[in-house]
């Protein structure tokens, strides 16, 4: 059974204007998203800035209330829970924010930051709090004397380690990591990612990892959801990602990543134009204004997210893709196979 079940999740933000400050429209941040996260799994969410991935992550753990849809945690519906009901489940669900400096109170020491969460959720007895804080700080690879310092006394990588410590302080089962390494230097990124991988295995965590970098997601995650303009356009395992990816947008994201082998000359998909405004999304497929394979059907009809049994290197796994061009490719393959027989 999945730990997280999301069904037809929608989040729209009202836009107000005019003399009376009335609602004149809405920003379509997340549009009918459905997926599961299995216990112990790491699922990546990727896409360009503004595609709705951070909003989706915050909505999953109810930092933002959804407009429509269902979110189940351990088979319990949480979208209808009030403040009191969510407090009982909040300890199990935590988030690591993108900017470790703005998410840490500059007026509190590390000990004060961690003590606040530990005492609020009654994680350990009062006489064990200081020992527990020391253990937490050591767990994220820092010296115990860091407990009595303020956030501004640390580097960006150290602050992100403290953000991880704060998320772990209440012993959660599920963590949303919202671009936790995007603000860090490349060498520090690797250290923080390796730390998170070690902690995931050691503590048995379930993760949703949000990023705009497919290279990082390919290294860190078991499965990836590709988002564009609030929609999931493809879902697939990260193993052999270059062989599995079918959606033109996913192919373009992969093509934008640096290639390790200078002799590997893959075709590059260059996207023209900008992402449409989520205030006024285009009809049909959300990617149709930039897609190199667009045709008439794409401009008027939204492609469904179709589940397929696919396989690479002899192993069958489930994938989902929403693209009329991929539908045409599949039909052509079937026709060619039938003709060969």
**Cβ neighbours of residue 249 under 8 Å, at least 6 residues apart?**
226, 228, 233, 234, 271, 287, 291
Cβ atoms 34, 6 nearer than 8 A: yes
Q: pLDDT tens digits, the chain, 341 residues: what are they?
A: 799 999 999 999 999 888 888 988 999 999 999 999 999 999 999 998 889 999 999 999 999 999 999 999 999 999 999 888 898 898 999 999 888 778 888 899 999 999 999 999 999 999 999 999 999 999 999 999 999 999 999 988 899 999 999 999 999 999 999 998 887 888 888 888 899 999 999 999 999 999 988 888 988 899 999 999 999 999 999 988 888 899 999 998 888 776 666 676 666 667 777 888 899 899 999 999 999 888 899 999 999 999 887 655 555 577 999 999 998 888 777 676 655 55
Pairwise CA distance, residues 60 & 19, whole Å: 35
Per-residue buried b or exposed e for 282-294, using 16+ beta carbons within 10 Å of the residue's own CB: eebbbbbbbbebb
Pairwise CA distance, residues 329 & 232, whole Å: 20
> Which pair of structure tokens corresponds to residue 241?
């990602």
**Cβ neighbours of residue 338 under 8 Å, at least 6 residues apart?**
none
Pairwise CA distance, residues 236 & 230, whole Å: 18
CB atoms within 10 A of CB 25: 13
235 forms beta bridges with: 225, 320
Pairwise CA distance, residues 94 & 117, whole Å: 11
Sheet holding 22-38, edge to edge: 22-38, 2-17, 68-73, 76-77
Answer CATH for 4-92+172-259+267-340 from 3.40.50.300, 1.10.340.30, 3.30.70.580, 3.90.226.10: 3.40.50.300
196 closest CA partner among 206, 186, 185: 206
Q: Model pTM greater than 0.85? A: yes
């Amino acid at each position: 059974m999945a730990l997280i079940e999301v069904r037809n999740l929608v989040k729209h933000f009202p836009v107000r204007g005019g003399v009376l400050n009335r609602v004149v429209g809405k920003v379509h941040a997340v549009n009918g998203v459905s997926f599961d996260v299995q216990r112990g799994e790491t699922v990546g969410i990727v896409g360009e800035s503004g595609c709705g991935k951070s909003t989706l992550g915050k909505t999953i753990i109810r930092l933002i209330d959804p407009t429509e849809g269902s979110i189940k945690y351990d088979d319990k519906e949480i979208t209808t829970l009030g403040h009191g009901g969510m407090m009982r489940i909040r300890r199990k669900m935590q988030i690591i924010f993108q900017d470790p400096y703005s998410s840490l109170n500059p007026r509190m020491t590390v000990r004060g930051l961690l003590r606040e969460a530990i005492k609020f959720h009654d994680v350990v007895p009062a006489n064990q709090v200081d020992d527990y804080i020391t253990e937490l700080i050591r767990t994220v690879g820092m010296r115990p004397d860091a407990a009595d310092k303020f956030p501004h006394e640390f580097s960006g990588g150290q602050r992100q380690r403290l953000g991880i410590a704060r998320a772990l302080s209440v012993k959660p089962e599920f963590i949303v990591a919202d671009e936790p390494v995007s603000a860090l230097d490349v060498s520090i990124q690797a250290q923080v990612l390796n730390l998170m991988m070690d902690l995931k295995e050691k503590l048995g965590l379930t993760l949703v990892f949000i990023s705009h970098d497919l290279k990082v997601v390919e290294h860190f995650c078991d499965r990836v959801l590709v988002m564009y303009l609030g929609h999931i356009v493809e879902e697939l395992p990260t193993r052999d990602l270059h062989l599995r990816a079918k959606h033109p947008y996913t192919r373009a994201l992969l093509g934008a990543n640096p290639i390790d082998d200078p002799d590997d000359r893959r075709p590059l998909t260059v996207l023209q134009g900008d992402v449409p405004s989520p205030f006024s999304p285009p009809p049909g497929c959300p990617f149709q204004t930039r897609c190199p394979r667009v045709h008439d059907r794409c401009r008027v009809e939204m492609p469904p997210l179709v589940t397929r049994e696919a396989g690479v290197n002899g192993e069958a796994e489930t994938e989902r893709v929403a693209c009329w061009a991929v539908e045409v490719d599949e039909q052509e393959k079937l026709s060619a196979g039938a003709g060969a027989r």
